[in-house]
Amino acid sequence: MNETLLVRAAGGAWEELQPRTELPEGGVSELLGDDVRAVLGAEQPVLVAACSPALPSGTPDALCVDASGGVWVIQIALDGTGDQLLGQLLGFAGALTGASFDDFAGYCDRRGDSSLADWVAGQAGDDFDPDEFQQAVTESLAAGRIRLVALVQEASPSLVQTFRYLTSAGALGSIFELSSFGSSTVSAIRATQVDLLGTGPTAGQRTAAALAAAPAAELRPTVPASKAASSGQSTRRAATSARTASSTGPAEAAGAAFVDGATRASGDATAALLGQLQTACAVTFDDVSYEQVDGQPVLHAGVSTPEGVATIVSARVDGSIVLAFEGVGALDPTWTVRAELCQGMERLLGADLGDVRQISQLNLSVAEHLMDATLMEALVDLLSDTVRQLHDGAAVAA
C-alpha cells in the first residue's frame, strides 16, 4: 500500500513530506528545534542547550538541560540500527561526569551571552528557581546522572538489550525509533519510544522521560533504628492493628480506591506507577493493607515477624514512597538483608546512602525523584528479592 504524507499551513498549498535518512540541511538544530519535550514525551521543557559541542570524548549531536536540573545527551542515527550509539553516549556521559557547573555551562553555546540559569529561566516559567537549578545540575554532574537518549531509525535487538541491562542497573537511558520527513519548507518527526522493560508499553512509559527529568532522590537517613520507636517513626505494627484492609472496605475496593485517589491527586502517569507497585506488593508481601490518612488511602505492605506485621513499604496517592528498614530486625539480626537492600537502592539511584545501620527509612517520590516505569520495575524486583531473603532466613531460624 502506498502512503503519502501531506501537510499545509492555513490557507496554503499542500506539500508532500518525503522520508529522510540523513539530517536536514540545518543539521541537528533543524531536526530537534529548541525544545525536544514533544519528541521525548516529557511534561516539562527539555531545552537543546548545544548542538555538536566539543566534549573531551567527542561531539554529541545534542546536549540538553531541563528546568529541574536534568542533563541529557542525545545521539542520532537516522540511517540504521544505532549499534554504535551506546558506546558514544557512554563516552559523552563519562566526559560530563565530575564536570563543574561552569564547565557544563561553557558547552551550552545556545545561551549566547546569558548565563545558563537565565537562559533556562526565560523558557521555564515563573516557578523556576535559578539557585536550585544550578545546584541540581551540579549534583547531576557530580553523580554522573546523565540521561542517555538514542534516536535511531530502527533499534537493533542488541542495542535494546544492552539498554535494558543498563537501565535495570540504575542508568538513565531511553531509545526512540525516529522517522524524519521533510519538504522544502517543512520538517516533521515521528518518534516511538522503545520498550525497555520487555513487557509492552504502559501508561507510565508514556511520560517516562518527564519523570526521569526530575531531581535526584532525596534519600534522608532519619533517626537510627534504636531511637525510632521513641521518635514516633517506627513502622512496626501488630497484625491486629486498626490499620487493616477491612477498615476501608474489602481489599479489592481499597486497592481500587488507592489507584483512583492517585489518579485524582497526581495524574495518570503517577497512578500507573503506583498501580505497578501495588500489584507487585500484592504478590510479594505477606500483608497488604490500606489506611485512611487525611482522607486519602495509604498502602502498607509488610512481612510477618514474631512481633507482628513489619511494614517495609508505605505509599501515598501523591506518589511518595517510604521504604522502612527497622521493622524487619527480628528477621534480619545480622543486617545482611537490609545491607543488600541498601546496596540495591544505591545502584538504582546512583547515590551513596552510607551506613545502613544509621538509616531508619528512605523517602522517595515519583514526581520529584527519579521514578519511571523502568526504575519502578527494578525497585519491585529488589523488594521481591528482599522479602524472599527474609523468608529464607526465617525458615532457617525455625
Residues 235 and 284 in one domain: yes
Domain assignment present for residue 218? The answer is no
DSSP state of 216: P
Query: Is there a contact between 69 and 132 (Cβ–Cβ < 8 Å)?
Result: yes
Query: Is there a contact between 78 and 30 (Cβ–Cβ < 8 Å)?
Result: no
Residues 177 and 317 in one domain: no
User: In the prediction, which pLDDT does 368 show?
Assistant: 65
Given 169, 188, 212, which residue is the final one in a domain?
A: 212
User: In the prediction, which pLDDT does 395 show?
Assistant: 61
Residues 14 and 162 in one domain: yes
Q: What is the pLDDT along the chain (398 residues), one digit of tens a residue?
A: 456 777 777 777 888 888 877 776 667 877 888 898 888 877 788 999 999 999 999 999 999 999 889 999 999 988 877 888 989 999 999 999 999 999 999 999 998 889 999 999 988 877 889 999 999 999 999 989 999 999 998 888 888 888 888 877 777 889 999 888 877 777 777 888 888 765 433 333 333 333 233 333 333 332 222 222 222 323 323 222 333 333 334 567 778 888 888 888 888 888 888 999 999 999 999 999 998 888 888 999 999 988 889 999 999 999 999 998 877 777 888 889 988 888 888 877 766 777 888 888 888 888 766 577 778 888 899 999 999 999 887 765 55
DSSP state of 67: T
Domain assignment present for residue 53? The answer is yes
Residues 167 and 241 in one domain: no
Domain assignment present for residue 231? The answer is yes
What is the residue whose three cell numbers read 548542538?
Answer: 51
- Count of the separate structural domains present in the chain: 2
Given 162, 184, 212, which residue is the final one in a domain?
A: 212
Residues 272 and 192 in one domain: no
Q: List the domain range (segments joined by +) for residue 180.
A: 5-212
SS3 readout for 266-309: HCHHHHHHHHHHHHHHHHHCCEEEEEEECCEEEEEEEEEECCEE
Domain assignment present for residue 148? The answer is yes
pTM of the shown model: 0.51
Q: How far apart are CA 310 and CA 299, in angstroms?
A: 13
Residues 240 and 368 in one domain: yes
Q: How far apart are CA 79 and CA 22, in angstroms?
A: 7
Query: Is there a contact between 205 and 375 (Cβ–Cβ < 8 Å)?
Result: no
Residues 272 and 357 in one domain: yes
Residues 284 and 311 in one domain: yes
Domain assignment present for residue 314? The answer is yes
Domain assignment present for residue 9? The answer is yes
Q: Which residues of 3-20 are buried (b: 16+ CB within 10 A; e: fewer)?
A: eeeeeeeeeeeebebeeb
Given 169, 191, 212, which residue is the final one in a domain?
A: 212
Domain assignment present for residue 219? The answer is no
Domain assignment present for residue 217? The answer is no
User: In the prediction, which pLDDT does 28 show?
Assistant: 80
